[in-house]
Structure formats: C-alpha cells, structure tokens
Amino acid sequence: MRAFLLIVIIFATLRLAMAGDSEPKWREYPSPNGRDAVRLREGWAIGNCKFNRAVLVDRKTGKQLFEFSSDEGGYDNDSVIWSPGSVCVAVYTRNHRMGEPIVMAILGEKPQECTLPEITLPHENNPKNDGRHVQSWRKPDKWLSDSELLLSDSGLIQQQRENGSRIYYCYDLWIKFDNDGHGVLKQVKQRAFVKEPRD
C-alpha cells in the first residue's frame, strides 16, 4: 500500500512540474507612469522572434485592453516603445522579410489605434530603382514627444533585369500624430543608399 501511495505522489508531483513548465511565460513592458503595460508571451514565431503574442493591459486590474496582431510574425526584446508621458505606445512585429509597427494612443478607458501615413521613399520616384522588395522593415526607434515618433525604414531591393543590382536603403522618418491619431510625415532623412552589382 505504501509503495502504491508513493508512486501516486511521485506521479502527481511530476504532472504538476510538467504543467508548470508548460505555462506560457510573459515579459512585461510597463508604461512610464506605471498604469498600463504591453506584455509579450514567449514562444516561437515566424522570423525566429522570441515572442509570439502581444497584449496591452491595465496593470491594476489585469484587464486586457488590446491584442496586437502578429499573424505573419513575432516580437523581439526591443519591440515595445512607450512615449514619455505614457500617452502612446508603438509595438513592432516582424518576420524574415518585413516588419511594421502598430501604434496605440491610450486616451481614457479605450485605447485607439493610430494610422501611419502612406509614405513614398525618395528612391521610389526613380524607375531605375524598381525591383522586388526582398526585405522591408519600418521599425519604431524612439518617441520624440507624446505625439512624435521616429521610425527607421530600411530594406533590400533585388533588381531582376539584366545587369540588375542589389539596393540597400535606410531612412529616418519623423511622424507626427494629431489628436485623432492620424499620422503625418514631417521629415525624411536618408541614412544610407547603396547600390551593388549582382553577383
């Protein structure tokens, strides 16, 4: 009887340990005022990202305010950037080929998703730079204020025509959001533009 009880206890302990290991782990990125947070869940995601889910929560109640979509990618350690006054948060999701931010304004009880403007980069106006976008990343770098966000827009274009080239580009984009959450492009600054012959 003792041997049977011992086996049952060992089995139950192992099951509890295994259940504990299977619980998802979350990393929290609190707002500067401590009221809200973006939580990232650890787990494999497309693009070899460390996190596969992101949610905005009220830290006091634990209530989920918004879930960020990542159907085609995941999140990294540096994916969450809060504005200085905790008014906005930019969350970056990416995969192997592309990345985009989702920007939220947290006004009142219900957060509002902001819209980024349509942006034509300077090199896109030149037909000589046409080609297939192999990689395209638009990543939030930092908030300049509660309504101004600095993004880096980088990518790689592969030209398919004869004597085509590989084009690497990187720009700084300065976006300003109005009170309704609509983003306006204020400035584009070229950081790099390199055209290399194809091997």
Q: Is 12 a domain residue?
A: no
Q: What is the pLDDT of residue 194?
A: 95
Q: How many residues does the chain have?
A: 199
| Cβ neighbours of residue 55 closer than 8 Å, sequence gap 6 or more | 38, 39, 64, 65, 66, 67, 68
Which residue range forms the structural domain that includes residue 39?
Answer: 22-197
Contacts of 123 (CB under 8 A, 6+ apart): 129, 167, 169, 193
Query: Do the domain assignments include residue 133?
Result: yes
pLDDT (tens digit per residue) in 138-161: 999 999 999 999 999 999 999 887
β partners of residue 112:
105
Average pLDDT over residues 5-32: 63
Per-residue pLDDT of 97-148, as tens digits, reads: 999 999 999 987 789 999 999 999 999 999 989 888 889 999 999 999 999 9
C-alpha 163/C-alpha 160 separation (Å) is: 8
Per the domain annotation, does 10 fall within a domain?
no
Specify whether the CB–CB gap between 166 and 156 falls below 8 A. yes
Are 27 and 42 in contact, with CB atoms under 8 Å apart? yes
Question: According to the model, what pLDDT value does residue 109 have?
Answer: 73
35 assigned to some structural domain: yes
CB 52 within 8 A of CB 75: yes
The answer to whether residue 8 is domain-embedded is no
pTM, entire model: 0.83
Backbone angles phi, psi at 188, to 5 degrees: -125, 125
- Signed CA dihedral, 181, 184, 190, 192: sign only: positive
Residue 99 parent element (H or E):
strand 98-105
Give residue 75's pLDDT: 94
The answer to whether residue 43 sits within a structural domain is yes
Give the chain's domain count: 1
Q: Is residue 82 part of a domain?
A: yes
Residue 5 resides in a domain: no
Tokens 């274009």 correspond to: 157
In 3D space, the residue among 27, 123, 33 whose CA is nearest the CA of residue 76 turns out to be: 27
